[in-house]
Amino acid sequence: MVTPAQPSRTGSTPSQSSPPSFQPSDDLGKRYKLLEKLGHGNFGVVYKALDQVTGEIVAVKQIDLENSDDDISEIQKEISHLSDCDSEFIVRYYGSFVKGYKLWIVMEYLSGGSCLDLLKPGPFPESAIQVVIHELLLGLEYLHTKKKIHRDIKSANILVSSKGKIKLADFGVATQLSNNKSRRNTFVGTPFWMAPEVIKQSSYDEKADIWSLGITAIELAKGQPPLAEYHPLRVLFLIPKAKSPTLEDNLDAERIKLFSDEFKDFIDCCLLKDVQHRPNALQLLNHPFLKKRQSTGHNPLNLKKSLTGFIANGQKLLGGHHPDQGIAG
């Protein structure tokens, strides 16, 4: 039997709007006016919605509990992960409730869409990738410090605000590391981005996310992940056996000239098969590829302007349509 989930709140910084305040007497189903369908994926359908109490635009994920084949505990696990996160680099979770046979999860709406949406007109320039990777690493450092592994890092799960703020989304497969079991051996994730140790179902830790980050960096530069031409089942066989992907192996001779040696080395570091030598999020934040953000011509403000300009141009090429919020996975 499914019982209504208790509404949860995350903290907010002065720069963020306050989360909706849930009261037991609220008819929450009537509070939110669904405006348009944004997409569907892991567990459910996502809508753009209006909070008729605060006037805020939010994202609402609806999960059909009656027809779902998924374990309700898995759905509740996702809610737990979202409600436990309080980082400006993680999509904010506002609360949840059950209406009829549907679980409603209310989350932050990001009008820039996902990085996958922004790839539709073409690959990212290095300046935009630099901003995405830097803020994604800040989100991962937060998660890993909290003993959490995301396990599904990819462009579809990286959301962007209209001002270029990068936020990590979709914790449908996220897992938490307990104090007495610091590694997992379950098989979860998306094949093209999956670390070799995950595919082999050997023990792994948060560095599996670092491998996926490296694959995502190639995806942003190329427009698709390595081995995209193969069937996913074939990819599961190739990743553990083949040598680690490199940027040079995935781009033609002309396009590779557009990327720095620092970026190429950053990817190589992420994709080290020896987990012991693969750096963690904090170490990667000090990599020359990201440290040069502080040098002349690469300051964070200029890079953020580059990303917001790229977003605006991408939306223009998409016909003025705002990309879907990729929070459904």
CA–CA distance, 165 with 307 (Å, rounded to integer): 9
Question: Please, which residues bridge with residue 45 across strands?
Answer: 40, 62
Q: Distance between terminal CA atoms of the chain?
A: 26
Active site residue 252: no
**Phi, psi (deg, nearest 5) at residue 58:** -130, 170
- Sign for the CA dihedral angle at 167, 171, 175, 179 comes to positive
**Containing H/E element for 46?**
strand 45-51
Helix, coil or strand: residue 261:
helix
How far is 199 from 271, CA to CA, in rounded Å?
14
Binding residues: 61
Q: Which of 152, 170, 209, 324 is catalytic?
A: 152
DSSP character for 259?
S
Annotated binding site for ATP: 61
- Please state, as a whole number, how many other Cβ atoms lie within 10 Å of the Cβ of residue 224: 16
For 95, left (φ over 0), alpha (ψ -120 to 50), or beta? left
Q: How far apart are CA 329 and CA 314, in angstroms?
A: 20
Active site residues: 152
